[in-house]
Amino acid sequence: MFWTFLQRAIRFSTVFMYGATGETITEKSGHLNLGIPGVMCIGAVGGVLGESLYLKSLSDISQINGFAAVIIPIIMTLIFGALAGLLFSFFTVTLRCNQNVTGLTITTFGIGFNSFYMNRIDKTGFTAASEYFIKGFPCADSAGWFGKIFLSYGTLVYLAIIVAVIAAIIIKRTRVGLNLRAVGENPATADAAGINVTKYRYIATILGSAIAGLGGLFFIMDHLGGNIEYNIDAFGWMAVALVIFTVWKPNWGILGSILFGALYISPDFMTVPSAATKEIVKLIPYFVTVVVLIVTSIINKRETQPPAALGVSYFREER
Amino acid sequence: MQDNTVAIQLKSITKTFGEVVANKNVDLTVYRGEVLSILGENGSGKTTLMNMIAGIYYPDSGEIFIDGEKASIHSPKDAFAHRIGMIHQHFKLVDVFSAADNIILGEEYKGFDIKSEAERIKEEHSAENAAYAAYKPEEHTGVLAYLKAPKYHSEKETKRRIAALPFEKIAKRIKFGWLSRNRADAIQSIANRYGFEIDLKKKIYDMSVSEKQTVEIIKVLYRNADILILDEPTAVLTPQEIDKLFAVLRRMKDDGKSIIIITHKLNEVMAISDRVAVLRKGEHIATVNTADTDEKELTEMMVGKKIDLNINRSEPHDVEDRLVVDGISATNHDGVKVLDNVSFTARSGEILGIAGIAGSGQRELLEAIAGLQRIDSGDILYFDPTKDNEKIDLRAKTPVQIRDLGVRLSFVPEDRLGMGLVGNMDLVDNMMLRSYRNVKHNEADEKKECESDTEKVAEAVSEDSSAAESSGGKKSDGKPNKAKEAFAKFGRGVANCASVVWSSIFLDRKSPKNLAENIVTDLEVVTPSTRTPVRRLSGGNVQKVLVGREIAAAPTVLMAAYPVRGLDINSSYTIYNLLNEQKEQGVAVIFVGEDLDVLIDLCDRIMVVCGGKVSGIVDGRTAEKEVLGKLMTNNSGAGVAADSVGEDLQ
């Protein structure tokens, strides 16, 4: 029972993990991309579109190649997510628009784009294709609880953890990460030190959005098993909250995501929960985030504060 | 060390911001191994000019030559490539990073070229092989013969070494990109070489102002800068720290580096620089050798006319006690005692100077009087001249309560754009910050008046009607007249009320606009218009706006903390004269200053604070600098005092 619960929590946490890792990378550059829910929707559309095109190109569904059925949607999701990030950066860096407004616009657009296109995409063969997303290591079943917790997941789950770990290492332990943090903390200083603020903000936002988009793809192809009629944006907001919850650290984001995932699926493990209880339990992550915000602001440690220039556009010659 | 090789040359540089011309056809030459001072009033374009050398701005026209070659500096990165480093007035440091991380920030990887590296290895190996061939072991004895023997490199080895170069290049790149845990140690050695005493693992937010400046200087040295630009480096330092900084600058000058320093303080210009370039209104006036000039001549060049650098101190008259501070003590957020049993009296028609090393409690003292700092014990008493010197207790009152008591207190805080003015608001709105409540306040009185008016009318009407009732129809002649009058009065009352309601909803913008315009003309504030956000004005002009507003409130007590910090000579004297004017009008002026000469020239009495305690109050007319200096470091000794500086500045 417990192992099943943990396994499902870890699996479901992937949605948040992609979103949170992507948003953390973005926010470290000083961009508050509130478009993450929309980006996840857009990324999901891209992935589903890629899968659909691939399946259509096959003469028969039995010819399906597992590797292609997974990698094509992933690449398409990355491209769509990156385009959404490019749009955000273009508005906020090049045109110097307000970041909050731009982000919310992208969210609104993404949700609409998602519900408009998802129904128009041919879903034939999606169940078969999603099998390849869900498939874990072959030896998972024979390894008891160990296999269940460590070996039973699909590609995207492992990828999420790898991406989060790499992001954490790059941010904390490399010069690129140091420069990125400087851009988010104090762009004028970074600029004076010879760092190209525009370049860093563009790349961080595009990369972050591409990663966040994978969360949408995971939800559709892995969690829902190819059923595409569901709104993803709620998980995007959770991811934004998660970034605050994990005080802008992608490695903590892994644990935070698992906690959020556990909270989210826990109603399924309750004996006859009422509808109200279910909703209240789903509310806990937001509540916890508020508590964390309060606690970190009481502790007032400089390291747990958001990047100082978060949400502030930078223009060198402004006086 | 000046050796007459040109390090950097500017030719007819022009830069405009919108309609404002910041620099116009500026020519400037800097030699190797010299200290060049840039002198000019606020807004004369010194910082803009330097920013163009450092790549923050790009000139509209004109050329920059570095080591005789034309250079185009589009970004700070280009400036680094030309070995130019700038230490900005507002430090460019990331607070949450350690000093070491700030120093290595943005550093570019300098890779090697595989081909030329291969050549180098070949040559090195063949040279060593030649040495091996020529080596005679019998010239050395014992183990030494073995140890000193040159290595022989076979052709195979050389080839292998060259073949490995691409991998070596990648490995080096990765090693560069990785932040090792002991990254601070390498930089620490540079710091030690120049004699800086600083812990580079410390976070910037834990550092004092002078430590931050040291980090900035090490940062520039680490980047191998040959041309250093310092923008008002001494503005935030204590005299001891300034001496230390100048010692460092001299050492760097002896190393053959060119140093450009922007400062307002003429004595510093005379002390440190070899040559002085004077800018006025964006134009280059002249460059002179420091040895051939004096402070007076420089001032004239800077201002463009002869100005009187004397402060006319008048004898105080009609002196009476206005503000009595009696034994106040206060602690700050960290539980440190910042004020310790401070007592003094500020008298009308007198300027009371407060001297002390920065952070000795001056700020807390003024804030305690203004109602911004909680005090633990003691009394602050105000004697109201409009109410026959009635005693009012200001302790534990908020600024609004103090104002509502009729105490006319004006406060020019040291943090102009943080506490004094709102940077993003224009001049008119900033004027309104102080007055918008006043209007409401007056109108509340009016409202009361008009309310009582309507009450009277109502009374009159009811009286009339009751009278009419009691007397039947007998007095029918007088009744309509009286009622008519009453109704007319009633109408007026309603109209009055309406206008009061109207003006309490909508702000009166006219009078603050007039005030702003008066300040701009009277104090010669340089601004495109009164609708310009104040953050766009230069430091001196911001200060004039703030002081102008506070004086316009017709105070009985005027407190000014470092009102001339960062201001040029001309603006400074404008401010001194304003303070003197206020004194002559019977205002009790409290002036916190840092320049002892000015304090002695300006103030009637000087109170010296040290470590939150009053260490002495002396007469300004007979005060001596040395005495004040001793009092300033009275309780704690110079070393400790210097350490605690800065902390309060943050």
CATH of the domain at B19: 3.40.50.300
Residue B157: pLDDT over 70: yes
If you ran DSSP here, which 8-state letter would residue B318 be given?
Answer: S
The reply to whether B86 touches chain A by the CB within 8 Å rule is yes
The string of pLDDT tens digits covering residues A141-174 is: 888 888 888 888 999 999 999 999 999 999 999 9
The domain total for chain B is: 4
Q: Select, from the ranges A17-21, B234-238, B412-416, B526-530, the one with the highest average predicted confidence (pLDDT).
A: A17-21
The verdict on ipTM greater than 0.85 is yes
Question: Which residue range(s) make up the domain with B490?
Answer: 433-509
Q: Report the residue count for chain A.
A: 319
**Is residue B92 domain-shared with residue B238, that is, in the same domain?**
yes
Contact A185 B178 (CB under 8 A): no
The reply to whether B484 touches chain A by the CB within 8 Å rule is no
Report the SS3 class of residue A230.
Answer: coil
Residue B410: pLDDT over 70: yes
Q: Which residues of B touch A194 (CB under 8 A)?
A: 75-77, 79-80, 106-108
**Is residue B326 domain-shared with residue B418, that is, in the same domain?**
yes
Q: Where is B384: in which H helix or E strand?
A: strand B377-384
**Is residue B89 domain-shared with residue B212, that is, in the same domain?**
yes
Residue B473: pLDDT over 70: no
| Confidence at residue B478, expressed as pLDDT on a 0 to 100 scale | 52
The reply to whether B166 touches chain A by the CB within 8 Å rule is no
Q: Is A309 exposed, middle or buried (0-12, 13-18, 19+ CB in 10 A)?
A: buried
Q: Which has the minimum average pLDDT: B379-393, B403-417, B453-467?
A: B453-467
Q: Where is B20: in which H helix or E strand?
A: strand B20-31
Interstrand relation of B588-592 and B557-561 (parallel, antiparallel or unpaired): parallel
Which of A174, A177, A195 has its CB closest to that of B106?
A: A195
Q: Is residue A221 part of a domain?
A: yes
| Confidence at residue B448, expressed as pLDDT on a 0 to 100 scale | 52
Contact A193 B75 (CB under 8 A): no
Which of A173, A178, A302 is the best mutation test for B, with the most CBs of B within 10 A? A178
**Is residue B470 domain-shared with residue B414, that is, in the same domain?**
no
| Confidence at residue B132, expressed as pLDDT on a 0 to 100 scale | 82
The reply to whether B135 touches chain A by the CB within 8 Å rule is no
Give CA–CA dist B142/B147, Å, rounded.
Answer: 9
Q: Is residue A319 part of a domain?
A: no
Count of CA atoms in the C-beta half-sphere (13 A) of B584: 11
Q: Which has the minimum average pLDDT: A276-285, B95-104, B196-205, B272-281?
A: A276-285
Residues of A with CB under 8 A from a CB of B: 172-179, 181-182, 185-186, 188-196, 302-303, 305, 308, 316-317, 319
Query: By the 8 A CB rule, do A277 and A267 touch?
Result: yes
Count of CA atoms in the C-beta half-sphere (13 A) of A84: 40
Report the SS3 class of residue B39.
Answer: strand
Q: Is residue A312 part of a domain?
A: no
Q: How far is B103 from chain A (nearest CA, A)?
A: 9
Q: Is residue B529 part of a domain?
A: no
Ranges of chain A with pLDDT below 50: 319
Q: Is residue B141 part of a domain?
A: no
Q: How far is B12 from chain A (nearest CA, A)?
A: 21
The string of pLDDT tens digits covering residues B93-123 is: 998 999 999 999 988 888 788 888 888 888 8
Interface contacts (A, B; CB < 8 Å): 86
Q: State both tokens at B319.
A: 């002196």
Q: How far is B489 from chain A (nearest CA, A)?
A: 54
Q: Is residue B142 part of a domain?
A: no
Q: Is residue B481 part of a domain?
A: yes
Q: How far is B58 from chain A (nearest CA, A)?
A: 9
Residue B645: pLDDT over 70: no
Higher pLDDT, B156 or B569: B156
Higher pLDDT, A178 or B320: A178
**Is residue B325 domain-shared with residue B418, that is, in the same domain?**
yes
Q: How far is A292 from chain B (nearest CA, A)?
A: 20
Residue B464: pLDDT over 60: no
Q: Is residue B520 part of a domain?
A: no
Q: How far is A168 from chain B (nearest CA, A)?
A: 13
Contact B106 A182 (CB under 8 A): yes
Q: pTM for the complete prediction?
A: 0.74
Residue B474 binned pLDDT confidence (cut-offs 50, 70, 90): very low
Q: Which residues pair with B280 in a beta bridge?
A: B283
In DSSP notation, B442-481 reads HHHHHHHHHHHHHHHHHHHHHHHHHHHHHHTTTTTTHHHH
Higher pLDDT, B155 or A297: B155
**Is residue B26 domain-shared with residue B115, that is, in the same domain?**
no
Q: Is residue B244 part of a domain?
A: yes
Contact B96 A176 (CB under 8 A): no
Question: Which residue range(s) make up the domain with A176?
Answer: 2-304
Interfacial B residues in 174-193 facing A (CB < 8 Å): 176-179
**Is residue B634 domain-shared with residue B595, that is, in the same domain?**
yes
Q: Which residues of B touch A192 (CB under 8 A)?
A: 54, 56, 76, 86, 88, 92
Q: Is residue B535 part of a domain?
A: no
Contact A188 B92 (CB under 8 A): yes
| Confidence at residue A182, expressed as pLDDT on a 0 to 100 scale | 95
Average pLDDT, chain B: 82
Q: How far is CA B526 from the centre of its chain?
A: 18
Give CA–CA dist A287/B522, Å, rounded.
Answer: 57
Which of A175, A179, A193 has its CB closest to that of B76?
A: A193
Q: How far is B288 from chain A (nearest CA, A)?
A: 31
Q: Which residues of B touch A179 (CB under 8 A)?
A: 105-106
Residue B491 binned pLDDT confidence (cut-offs 50, 70, 90): confident
| Confidence at residue B261, expressed as pLDDT on a 0 to 100 scale | 94
Give CA–CA dist B250/B436, Å, rounded.
Answer: 53
Packed helices A155-173 and A175-185: angle between N→C axes, nearest 10 degrees: 80
At position A110, the amino acid (one-letter code) is G
| Confidence at residue A317, expressed as pLDDT on a 0 to 100 scale | 64
If you ran DSSP here, which 8-state letter would residue A315 be given?
Answer: -
Q: Is residue A309 part of a domain?
A: no
User: Which long-range contacts (C-beta less than 8 Å, at least 24 apart) are formed by B114-121?
Assistant: B114/B165, B114/B166, B114/B169, B117/B165, B118/B162, B118/B165, B121/B158, B121/B161, B121/B162, B121/B165
**Is residue B347 domain-shared with residue B369, that is, in the same domain?**
yes
Mean local confidence (pLDDT), B405-433: 86
Which of A174, A185, A194 has its CB closest to that of B76?
A: A194
**Is residue B395 domain-shared with residue B479, that is, in the same domain?**
no
Q: Which has the minimum average pLDDT: A104-113, A305-314, B216-225, B427-436?
A: B427-436
| Confidence at residue A177, expressed as pLDDT on a 0 to 100 scale | 95
The residue with tokens 């000139």 is B59
Residue B264: pLDDT over 80: no
The domain total for chain A is: 1
The string of pLDDT tens digits covering residues B166-176 is: 888 888 888 88
At position B42, the amino acid (one-letter code) is N
Q: How far is A31 from chain B (nearest CA, A)?
A: 17
Q: Is residue B61 part of a domain?
A: yes
Give CA–CA dist B202/B212, Å, rounded.
Answer: 11
Report the SS3 class of residue B333.
Answer: coil
Report the SS3 class of residue A308.
Answer: coil
- Closest-CA residue to A18 (of A235, A286, A246): A235
| Confidence at residue B635, expressed as pLDDT on a 0 to 100 scale | 47
**Is residue B211 domain-shared with residue B294, that is, in the same domain?**
yes
Contact A176 B177 (CB under 8 A): yes
**Is residue B295 domain-shared with residue B351, that is, in the same domain?**
no
| Confidence at residue A85, expressed as pLDDT on a 0 to 100 scale | 96
CATH of the domain at A141: 1.10.3470
Residue B285, number of CB atoms within 10 A of its CB: 17
